[in-house]
Amino acid sequence: MHQGTTEWFAARCGKVTASRAAVPTPDITDHLLAIEGSGSSEELAKIYKDALEACEGNQVLQAKVIAAKKARVERAKQEKA
């Protein structure tokens, strides 16, 4: 960062530039609860797809959705046994 640039000035003044602005994180709580409560594999597939779309590309949230689906599938296998 060179002195005199917009980024330097913003950092020096404690201001956040557009490139560093915080991006709001989507709330996927309802989607995670829906995955947990899904009753059939067809319902789970639809909810899973919707949940991934709701993540808006956020990889941390996508990992949570994937983990929730995996846990639901494992629980379904245990319920069948």
Give pLDDT tens digits along the chain (81 positions).
Answer: 455 565 655 666 655 555 555 678 899 999 999 999 999 999 999 999 999 999 999 999 999 999 999 999 999 999 988
> What pLDDT does residue 59 have?
95
The pLDDT assigned to 66 comes to 97
Domain ranges in the chain? 24-80
Supply the DSSP symbol for 40: S
Tokens of 75: 């629980």
**pLDDT in the model for residue 76:** 93
